[in-house]
Amino acid sequence: MRWIWRVNGHATNGQHKNGNGCAANGARPDFLCVGAQKGGTTWLYWQLDSHPDFWMPPVKELHYFDKLSRTNRVTPPRRRDKRDVRFLENIKSLSARPSIDLENYGRLFQLKEPLLSGDVTPAYSMLDDEIIRQITSYFTNLKVIFLARDPGRGLGRSYPWRYVEDGSVRST
């Protein structure tokens, strides 16, 4: 099932808020990382989070564009410092709105300051084409990273089955 959202990211004259595809202060994500299940996005998130040139949001998967941000998270988000707390407050408020707000989504990334930052949500690879067009036209310098693994090698990680010595397959 695909969600269709109204997108609010343009001024009333149909132009971008400041003409360059991001919020007036230049706040924006540098990249979106999408991908297949078990494609390595968690590994990438932790690598970038530990790198001194990056500030990553305190939640790996924001799910802002696919409405899953409204569900309760199983894993509590990181709260390393004031930036994390502020980010969590802002994303909660933003996710409660009835439409996608690209300008305020971009403002979430003000907290990165001069560092690189982005949204790592594999499910964005299934977004509706119109939402993708609006995101990429609003954030004109956005990089999109797609991660995938060899499907045959990742299959065993997705299913709770295992082979036993006699060659039969059993549920784990």
Q: 0.85 exceeded by the pTM? A: no
What does the alpha-carbon distance between residue 38 and residue 104 come to, in Å, rounded to a whole number? 30
**pLDDT tens per residue across all 172 residues of the chain:** 333 334 444 433 344 443 345 544 678 999 999 988 788 999 999 999 999 999 999 999 999 998 755 555 556 677 888 999 999 999 989 988 888 999 999 999 999 999 999 999 999 999 989 999 999 999 999 999 999 887 666 555 555 555 555 655 555 5
Burial label, 127 (beta-carbon count in 10 A; 0-12, 13-18, 19+):
buried
* The one-letter amino acid at 76: P
Domain annotation for the chain: domains and CATH numbers: 7-11+26-148 (3.40.50.300)
> What would the two tokens of residue 29 be?
């994500």
Q: DSSP 3-state helix, strand, coil percentages of the chain (rounded to 5)?
A: 35, 15, 50
